[in-house]
Amino acid sequence: MQQSDRIGQPNENNNIVIDPVCRMQKPKNEMKETSEFLGKTYYFCSKKDQELFDAHPDHWVSEEERKKARS
């Protein structure tokens, strides 16, 4: 199986997502919170991780991903 390189984005094979804050990997349906940033949904295992992300999303999303989304 090939895993997604995109943090917080689902893996096509088994629907695993990575919390961009704590880097925990879980099936998308087991994540507790979500946030939208630059047209993408990011998944979080806790409200605290979502709050940290929402406060400074540019810190948690790579520059490459931000440039790609803004172009």
How confident is the model over 27-66, as pLDDT tens digits?
A: 999 999 999 999 999 999 999 999 999 999 999 999 999 9
Query: CA 61 to CA 8: how far, in whole Å?
Result: 9
Structural domain of residue 3, as residue ranges? 1-62
The whole-number average pLDDT for the span 7-15 is: 58
pLDDT of residue 71: 86
Query: pTM for the complete prediction?
Result: 0.77
Domain for residue 24, yes or no? yes
Domain for residue 67, yes or no? no
pLDDT of 17 higher than 60: yes
pLDDT of residue 4: 47
Cβ–Cβ < 8 Å for 49, 19: yes
Instruction: Count up the domains in the chain and report the number.
Output: 1
Domain for residue 68, yes or no? no
